[in-house]
Amino acid sequence: MTAAAPDVVLLGNLLVDDIVLRDGRTLMGEPGGAVLHAALASALWEAKVGICSVTGTDYPAEALATLAARGVDLSGVRRLDRTGGRAWLLYEPAVRRTVHHLDCPSHADVSPTLSDVPAAWLAARVFHLAPMPLTRQLDLAHGLAPAAGEKRLVSLDPFELVRDGTLAAWRDVLTHLDLFFVSEDEWRLTGDVEDVFLTSLAGPRLRHVALKRAANGGRLLDLHARESRTWRSRSRRVVDATGAGDAFAGGFLAGVVTHGDVTRSIEQGIVSASFAIEDWGARGLMAATPDHAAHRHAEWFVTAEAPA
C-alpha cells in the first residue's frame, strides 16, 4: 500500500555518472541525477520527500538504500529491466562536459511521466520538476496544475536553455509554475531577468524566480511584490560544483513546506549547496546529516546575527 503523500515530491532523473578528472583519475559508477542531490538536501531539514524517477539495473543500490534510510519515499521510482541513464562527466581546465553513453536509454526514457506519481502523492504541497526534456516538463507541469481549491506549489529547474528559439514553449510552461529556478548559464535572452519576466514571461501564477549564479550566489525575484533579494554562496571548501543548484533547490523547498519563511529557506539552500560542493558527485550530501546542517546554519546565520 502506498504511504501518505510526502511534503515535497521531486520528479526527474537518477543517472549513473562516470567521472574523469583533470589529472586522469576516474570515479566510475557514481550515483547521480538531480533528484538524488535535491532529495538528500531536503532530507537534511527533515522534510518528508518522495521521488518520481526511472532507474536501471546499474544504479548503485547503496545510494537508494541511503535515500530510504533518510526517510525518502521511493514508491514513485520505476525500475527498468536494463541499464538506465548514464553519462561521462569530463573535467577539463575551464569547463565540465557531459557526454551521455550512446548505448543507454534516451533522456525521455529515463524521465518520469504523470502516471509514475502515486495517486496518494497528489496531495503533496510541493512538486519540483528537475531538469528533463522540455516537452516532458510541460506535460508534468500541466498535469500537476492545482484544481480549484487545491493548494499545490509547482517549481521547475530547466534542462533546455531559455532562449529565443524556445521562448514560446517556455511561456506555456511558465503559466503552470509558481517558482522557477534558473541559472545564468541557462538564461540566453537579452536583458535583465526581472525585466523580461515582468514584461513578457510572468503570468498571474508565477511568483518567484530564483536566479542561480554559482559561486556568486544568486537573486530571488518576487514578481508579485516586484522586489528582489540577493544571497551569497558559502562553503568550507570547494571540490566539485556538481549538484549544488539541485541541493539549493532541495533545501529551499524544504523550508517552504516546513516553515514558509523565505529568508530561512534561502539560508537552508545555501547550507545544502555547501555540502554538495565539498566532495565529488553526491558524496558530500550523502555524508551530511540533519545535525550537521543545523550546526552549520546556526554558525553561519544565527550566531553571526546574534547581538553582541
What is the per-residue pLDDT across 266-282, written as a single tens digit (0 to 9) for each? Answer: 999 999 999 999 999 99
Spatial separation of the C-alpha atoms in residues 202 and 122, rounded to whole Å: 25
Q: Are 138 and 166 in contact (CB under 8 A)?
A: no
pLDDT at position 195: 86
pLDDT at position 305: 58
Q: Are 205 and 178 in contact (CB under 8 A)?
A: yes
The residue ranking higher by pLDDT, 193 or 229, is 229
- Count helices and strands (H / E) in the chain: 9, 13
> How is the beta sheet containing 16-20 ordered, strand by strand?
26-31, 16-20, 86-91, 96-100
Count Cβ neighbours within 10 Å for each residue of 49-80 and write b for 16 or more, e otherwise: bbbbbbbbeebbeebbebbeebebbbbbbeeb
Domains and CATH numbers, the chain: 8-14+33-84+106-302 (3.40.1190.20)
What is the per-residue pLDDT across 113-126, written as a single tens digit (0 to 9) for each? Answer: 999 999 999 999 99
pTM, two decimals, is 0.93
Take residue 233 and report the three cell numbers written for it: 554562496
What is the per-residue pLDDT across 155-176, written as a single tens digit (0 to 9) for each? Answer: 999 999 999 888 888 999 999 9
Spatial separation of the C-alpha atoms in residues 2 and 51, rounded to whole Å: 13
Secondary element (H or E) of residue 218: strand 218-222
Residue 1: pLDDT band (50, 70, 90) is very low
